[in-house]
Each structure stands twice: as C-alpha cells, then as structure tokens.
Structure 1
Amino acid sequence: MSHSHGPGGGPSADVSVRVAWADDAAAIAEVQLRAWPVLYAGLLPAEVLPTDVAAVAAQWREVLARPADARNRVLVALERNRVVGFALTSAAADPDCDPVADGELSELTLDPTERGKGHGSRLLQAAVDTLSADRFTRAVSWVNAADDALRTFLTDAGWAPDTAHRELDLDGTGSTTVKQVRLHTAIG
C-alpha cells in the first residue's frame, strides 16, 4: 500500500481498505463486540450481547473461508495493520429486490473509538466499488430508524430512503424490536 502524504509532506495516514482474510477473523470479532454495546444501547441489555471474542471469531473464520455466495464480501478498514472497521456486501435478499441488479451493504461497523477519522467514508466507497465490480446497479442498506448518525452518513453520501421499512425481532421473543428503514443509491 502506498503512503499518502498531506500538503507540506505531513505524516502519512497509513490508512487503507482491503478484502478481509481469514486471519482477520479475530480482529473483526473484536471490533464487532466493541461496537455492539454502542449500536444496541437502549435496545438490548448489555448482558445479552456476546462477549466471547473466540466464539465470534470462529463464526467469522467460517464466513471468510467459505462464503455462501461468491458475491458475499467482507472488507476491512485498516490503520497501519490494525482492523478499525468492516463492511459486508452481498446480493440483496429482500423479496422485492432483484438479486442480480440489487446489492446490499448489510453491515458497516466501525470501532467506536475510531469514529470521525474518515474510515467510514473509505469503507463505504470501497463497498460501493465492490458492489459495482460485482455488477450490481443499485445498492440498498437497512438502517435502524433511531440510528441518526448512520442514516445521516449515508444520506450525505447520496443514499435516500426507498420507503421500505421493517421491524426486526432482536431477541426472538417479540418483546425487543427495532424499526429499520431501507436506503438505496444507484451505482455503477
């Protein structure tokens, strides 16, 4: 990876995005476990969230080693060699979507301590580029209705609500649900 220097030859940023390797599983799991308490604050009690990095890493290793579909991709944002965020892209699974034309950004997660450094923008750009390379012409993403930060981030990047919405059952009992809205953007 080339190092970028700012005006006046400032310090190099040493930031990049690449496709995840199986060896990234533990680092991705750590980011996810750090992000979940922030993402689900006020929705789920902390004690129900997974805390076992090894168990989550094992699931990621499986996903990375044997994707269910050739277009299921995992991207990681790096600062030097440290994973600071990840994104997942795939064919859109919603019944009203076209699995050939519509790709989905199913997750864009940053380490909560690494926000505001441009990693999210780089990840989003890489995810859209990846969806475009996979020949999708539209991208969709489900966002928690209360997640103003992510919704604003995507709308600032040119995404817009497409009127689809759903309610997710977070704990399987129907007592903890989260409303989500779907955003979309033309790509390619």
Structure 2
Amino acid sequence: MSAGELRIRDMGLDDCEAVARVRVRGWHTTYAGMMPQAYLDAMSVQKDAARRRAHLAGRDGTTSDLVAERAGEIVGWGCCGPYRDEAGERTGDAELYALYVLPEHHRTGAGRALTAGLLARAAAGGHRRMLLWVLTENARARRFYARAGFAPDGVEAPFDVLGVAVPETRYARRLSAADAAAPSFG
C-alpha cells in the first residue's frame, strides 16, 4: 500500500497510542520466532503508549522521535539520540534506537523517509556517526540498513529476553554534511 502522500513530522503526545500500535504490531510481526513468544504475547498497546508518554515527557532535548503519516494515519515511527556504551555512558555517536513501519506500509518509502529524517537530526546535532543494534536473525532489517548505508562494525552482543539470549549485531554509518542538509521535519 502506498496511496497518499507521506509526511514525516515530530511525534507529539497525541501520537502515543498510534505509535504504540505501530511498535507492538512491529514486534509481533517482525520478531515472531526470533524471541520468546511469551514476551511478545505480554506486549500491549496500552502499556506501550504509557511508556511513550513518559518518554516524551522526560525528554532532555537530545532525542528525536519522528512519525511517518499517510492519509492522516501514523504508519511508522523512529527514534534516535546519543549512543550509550556498555556502562550506559553517552558517547559522541548517535544511536538509532527504534524504527518501525506497519507491515502493509513496508516498501512504500516510509522507513527510508524516517531513516533520512533521523540521520539528518543526528548529523545536525553534531554527531559524526550513527550506530544501531539489530537482531542478528533479522535478515530483512539487516538488508534495509545495508541499503541505507549502515554496515556491521564487528560488535555483537546477546540481548536477554526472558532469560533467552537473542544475539544482536551492531551496525554503523558515518554521518555527513549531506545528511545534515536533508530536509528538516517539523
């Protein structure tokens, strides 16, 4: 589905419920078979919306939350901010914390547009590199990030989900002046 013009904009408090639906549905469809099903089954839009509201209320100005909207419907969401090392300390790099698009809007440009917006925000914020973590088994996401200029940097780590180690691979991409010059979304 690609009908209608795509709009990328800042996420607001009124968007929390819609973003939670995108995120929870993304986890259910993307991570089935990669994560313990009990974890996925326990996810709820209501709990996630509350987390989104708390996140937005507690922002310190260093993170960016963008939504992709088509025909008045939020079809995707992405978030980035400072990278945190193993000790939880911020580094000079940026991190793509999350990127989700409703399955029926995959391959419509929503993910690419959100990524471009988040790269622009990170570059404009003075970051020289953006990092992200992706489940090692998630071949679709790995292909998407490779097409967006990211590449594995050799760092892998287990992500613990209900006592099950789910391997993640870190990807990196240098940010450029061209990224910072990309359209800014309001």
- How many correspondences in the alignment? 174
Which whole-Å CA distance do the structure 2 matches of 1:137 and 1:97 have between them? 19
CA drift at 1:45? 4.3
Which whole-Å CA distance do the structure 2 matches of 1:79 and 1:105 have between them? 22
Pairing partner for 1:181 from 158, 169, 173: 169
- The answer as to whether partners of 2:93 and 2:128 remain within 8 angstroms in 1 is yes
Greater RCO (Cα-Cα under 8 Å, separation 6 or more)? 2
The 3 A distance-change label for structure 1 pair 45 and 98 is closer
What TM-score results when the alignment is normalised by the length of structure 1? Answer: 0.85
Q: Return the letter of the residue paired with 1:65.
A: A
* Identity within the alignment, %: 28
What TM-score results when the alignment is normalised by the length of structure 2? Answer: 0.85
* Structure 1 residues 24-74: Cα deviation after superposition (integer angstroms, max 9, x where no partner): 00000111111111222113344432343222211111111221x321221
Pairing partner for 1:87 from 58, 75, 78: 78
Pairing partner for 2:115 from 119, 124, 145: 124
| Residues 1:20 and 2:15 aligned together | no
Which whole-Å CA distance do the structure 2 matches of 1:96 and 1:103 have between them? 16
The 3 A distance-change label for structure 1 pair 128 and 97 is farther
Report which of the two has the higher share of strand.
2
Secondary structure of 1:151's partner?
helix
Pairing partner for 2:154 from 163, 167, 172: 163
Corresponding residue number in structure 1 for 2:55: 63
- The answer as to whether partners of 1:100 and 1:136 remain within 8 angstroms in 2 is no
Considering only aligned residues, what root-mean-square deviation do their CA atoms show, in Å? Answer: 2.1
